[in-house]
Amino acid sequence: MKTYRGSCFCGAITFEADGDLADGTMRCNCRFCRKTRYWEMRLPDPDGLRILRGEDALAETPRSRNDGVDMRHAFCGRCGTRLWTWGDIAEMGGRFAMVFVPALDDVPEADLIAAPVFHADGAHDTWWNEAAETRHL
């Protein structure tokens, strides 16, 4: 496991995240992820996400439906950079935290290229299934 440092574009928010890109990343075909080009790394422990600076600049994208799913998307309220998603969903094993890979700082390009990507079928609320088409993600 590694500790990555990350930030938003304007530098108002900085954070640390414990995980390993080599363990896999995910892109999703749901409406939100397609629109934001979301690419995430799930952390093995949700407590492995630590805000170092800028909590006052955090903003949150509300869910567009009321289905009891606890999933929140954080971004910088000043520059708009996506940062992480967190919540509690039984189908995902309970509490979780996922960081936006492009928000990680100083990750070698070779590590980004080598990171496995799972293309989830979130468009049909079956994240555990591979999406049928992935070229647009």
pLDDT on residue 92: 76
Q: What is the tens place of the pLDDT at every residue in 81-95?
A: 999 999 887 777 889
Helix (H, G, I), strand (E, B) or coil at 50: strand
Q: Mind listing the pLDDT tens digit for each residue in 4-56?
A: 999 999 999 999 999 999 999 999 998 888 888 889 999 999 999 999 999 99
Alpha-carbon distance of 78 to 63, in angstroms, equals 20
39 lies in which domain range? 2-130
Query: Mean pLDDT across the stretch 117-123?
Result: 92
Identify whether 16 is part of a domain. Answer: yes
**What is the CATH number for 40?**
2.170.150.70
CA distance 60 to 74: 5
DSSP H helical ranges for the chain = 31-36, 109-114
pLDDT for the residue 21 = 97
Whether 98 shows a pLDDT value over 80: the answer reads yes
Confirm whether 135 is domain-assigned.
no
* Inside any domain, residue 137: no
Residue range 57-76, pLDDT digits in tens: 999 987 655 566 678 899 99
Per the document, the length of the chain is 137
